[in-house]
Amino acid sequence: MQSTNDLVFVDTNILIYAHDRDAGIRRERASQALDHLWQSRTGRTSVQVLQEFFAVASGKLKSAVGVAAAREVIRTYASWVAAPTGVNTVLRAIEIAEVAQISFWDGMIVAAAELSGATTLFTEDLNDGQVIAGILVVNPLADAPHRVPGKSPLK
């Protein structure tokens, strides 16, 4: 059983949905998940996630949040970047991608989550309930996200 203080790594899509005015129920669920992580002080992310967030939020969204607003979101979530990624992270991502049969970019997310000490990964891109490199994948946007016994999907 995981502790309620376990670290949770947040992927780009969760940040995007939380700030996408057109995301409906996904926005509500993503915002709730992020609020919980702020309150529990258990959120983590990476520079890769923040870069991807900026690229999407400042221009690719139907209702783009704009450069200034995206910059402020990045400043806010910068405190969640606990460990710098480097060449060893890239090599680990390649290993993870090969073993788990996922894309290199998803492997980078898992490797960064591992590097940050997270035990859970909030993402919509991988299979809810799957464990990759010892990290539980949870989709907090799903109607019934995977639940660890004794633990809310938002913890």
Per-residue confidence (pLDDT) for residue 150, from 0 to 100: 37
Tell me what pLDDT residue 39 has: 96
Q: What is the rounded CA–CA span in Å between residue 69 and residue 5?
A: 30
What is the pLDDT, as a whole number, of residue 15? 95
- Which residues make Cβ contacts (< 8 Å) with residue 36, sequence separation at least 6? 154, 155
* Cβ atoms within 10 Å, residue 87: 7
Distance (Å) of CA 134 to CA 50, 111, 115, 118, 119: 23, 11, 12, 9, 7
Helix or strand holding residue 136 (H, E): strand 135-138
CATH of residue 103's domain is 3.40.50.1010
- Please give the helix or strand (H or E) that residue 97 lies within, else none: helix 87-100
Q: How many domains does the chain have?
A: 1
Q: Apex CA 47: angle with CA 39 and CA 154, to 5°?
A: 30
The predicted pLDDT at position 1 comes to 33
135: part of which helix (H) or strand (E)?
strand 135-138
The residue ranges of the chain whose pLDDT is under 50 are 1-3, 148-155
Predicted local distance difference test score (pLDDT) of residue 5: 72
The per-residue pLDDT for 61 is 63
Side chain identity at 118, as an amino acid letter? A
Burial class (CB in 10 A: 0-12, 13-18, 19+), 136: buried
Domain housing 99:
8-138
Residue 151 lies in a domain: no
Task: Give the Cα separation of 90 and 35 in Å (integer).
Answer: 30
In a domain, 61, yes or no: yes
Residue 26 lies in a domain: yes
CA distance 22 to 6: 31
Residue 16 lies in a domain: yes
In whole angstroms, what is the distance from residue 92 CA to residue 7 CA?
20
Per-residue pLDDT at 62: 62
pTM over 0.75: yes
pLDDT tens digits, residue range 125-155? Answer: 999 999 999 999 999 998 865 554 334 444 3
Indicate whether 107 belongs to any domain.
Answer: yes
Determine, yes or no, domain membership for 150: no
